[in-house]
Amino acid sequence: MKPGGTIDIAGKTVSRLGLGTLRLAGPGGWGGPDDRAQAVGLLREAVHQHGITHIDTADSYGPHTVEDLLKEALHPYPDEVLIATKVGLVRPAPDVWTPFGHPAYLRASVEGSLRRLGVERLELCYLHRIDWEVPVEDQIGTLEALREEGKVGHIGLSKITAEDFHRWHGEIGLAAVQNVLNIHDRHDPVQELCRDHGVPYVPYRPLAAGSATHEGDVYTPLSWLLGLGPHIAPIPGTGNPSHLANIVRAVMLGGWE
């Protein structure tokens, strides 16, 4: 059984409940975890104990430290596990996230993620943010070229508008979209477009960084998300094994399996 049931993303059938890994970096998304052994153990528990097979990360988490953790914890990756990563942000300081979409940088970022994750192809690579200082065609075109070279399997976009979706889905065939959606931020027209076009919609911050929970209740916000349709694949993040177990238990008890 997979928590939340299953969904097809980037050519794999994975658990609808995924795991976001930002919280495995240090405060402000900077550096590594205080307890590296616990972080490695949490990743292994997520996959091997809880059945979570959709793991979301980014080269900017740390930066770079979380991709290293994933390799240490899970490599060689089980066939059923999807490791999705993102490129296109630079990190000059903690809590600072700056879009940078220069083609040479995106290409170097993909090469770096390949090395850190220990793979020959990124099965799902998102453009983390569109950089409006660089022609969007050049940013998407770089990922398309990397896909043609076999270094990227599928392309996703993050934090996009309905206009962005209409422009790019038909042209490149979006494998997934990652936007904010939770019970506080309930309205995103891209979610409905994904539903109508059969594109997996991956809500990040599904628990609104904890503000969507009340007295530890993760059932209500996650059930609301999962109830929107089978195209929804939330990626709550945590660095705490007990919190992860609580998230999985809430999803399973809610009948989302």
- Average pLDDT for residues 168-176, to the nearest whole number? 96
At residue 185, the pLDDT reads 87
In the structure, what pLDDT confidence band is assigned to residue 254 with cuts at 50, 70 and 90?
confident
Question: Which tokens sit at 232?
Answer: 């929804």
* Domains of the chain, earliest start first: 6-253 (3.20.20.100)
Catalytic choice (61, 126, 201, 204): 61
Record the pTM: 0.96
Residue 61 is among the residues annotated as catalytic for this protein: yes
> Looking at the predicted structure, is the pLDDT value of residue 256 above 70?
no
Paired with 204 in beta bridges are 180
- What is the DSSP secondary-structure string of 33-55? -S-HHHHHHHHHIIIIIT---EE
User: How long a stretch of residues is the chain?
Assistant: 257
> Looking at the predicted structure, is the pLDDT value of residue 161 above 60?
yes
- Average pLDDT for residues 23-42, to the nearest whole number? 97
- Strands (E) across the chain are located at 6-9, 12-15, 19-20, 54-56, 82-87, 89-90, 98-99, 122-127, 152-158, 176-180, 201-204
Looking at per-residue confidence, does 253 or 122 come out higher? Answer: 122
Report the amino acid identity of residue 148.
E
Please give the helix or strand (H or E) that residue 109 lies within, else none.
helix 103-117
At residue 211, the pLDDT reads 55
Looking at per-residue confidence, does 33 or 212 come out higher? Answer: 33
